[in-house]
Amino acid sequence: MKPAKARKPAAKPAKRPAVMTGAAIPVLRWPPDEDRVEAIFKRLSGVMPEPKTELDFSNPFTLVVAVALSAQATDVSVNKATERLFKVADTPEKMLALGEEGLIPYIASIGLYRGKARNVIALSRIVLDQHGGEVPLNRADLQALPGVGRKTASVVLNELGIEAAIAVDTHVFRVSHRLGLANAGTPDKVEAQLFKVVPEDWLPKAHRWLILHGRYTCTARKPKCLSCIIADLCPSRAGLMALGEAAG
C-alpha cells in the first residue's frame, strides 16, 4: 500500500501592501479607468477649489521648517509650536542666533524634537552660507538640506507652485489605494503610479486634495463613506460598508 501523499498547504492570500497607518487597504486592479479618475478630481475640485497646506508659514524658509517639523507630528501640534517660534525666528539668521538649545523649548511638544532642532539649525546654516540666506527652490538643493527628504521637498515645491509634486504621506497612501489610483506597496512607487494616472490638469493640486480628503473624510478608521462626495466612484466603499468599517 502506497503511503498517502502529503497535502500541500493552502496557498496564502496575497499580502496587502505595507500600510503606513495600520488601516486596512485593499489591493485593486491598476491602472484605473481614466474617466473615473477624471470624475474623482473634478468633484474634489468643486468642493476644494483652492486647497492649501494647513501648516502656517510666511515665507519659503518658515515653510521648509514647518514641513520638516511635521514629520510624525500633526499640523495642529506644529502650528502651536511655530506660532511662538516664528515670531522670534522666521529667517535663517534669526534661527541661527536662537541656536539649538534656544530652539528646543519652542518645539519640545513635537515628537523627535531634539533631532529636528539639530536639523533646523544645520539647514539654516547651509541656507545662509551656501545660498545667501534664501531657501533654494529646486529639488536637488532642497533635498540636500538636513532633515529635508523627498517628501518634504515635494510639499514645499508643490505649495509654492514651483513643481506639480505629489508627496505621498499616510493620507495620500491610504486614499490612493482605496480609490484604486495606486496599488503599490511603497510611497515612492505610489508616487510614480499617481503621476501616470492623474490627469495633467489636476496634478498641481492633486497632492493637497488627496491629503485633505484623507484627513477629514477618508480617514484611517471609520471613513465617512455615507457623506463622501466621491463614494459612488470608490471601489472600496462596498467592502468598507460590508465590514462595518465605514461611518456616516
Residues marked as catalytic: 151, 169
HSE of 154, CA atoms in CB hemisphere, 13 A: 19
The dihedrals phi and psi of 212, each to the nearest 5 degrees, come to -65, -35
Closest CA relative to residue 150, chosen from 92, 79, 68: 68
Bridge partners (DSSP) listed for residue 247: 224
DSSP codes, 49-62: SS---SS--SSHHH
- Rounded Cα distance between 176 and 25, Å, is 10
- Rounded Cα distance between 138 and 163, Å, is 9
Closest CA relative to residue 121, chosen from 94, 87, 81, 154: 94
Q: What would the grid cell of residue 79 be?
A: 502650528
- Rounded Cα distance between 75 and 79, Å, is 6
Bridge partners (DSSP) listed for residue 224: 247
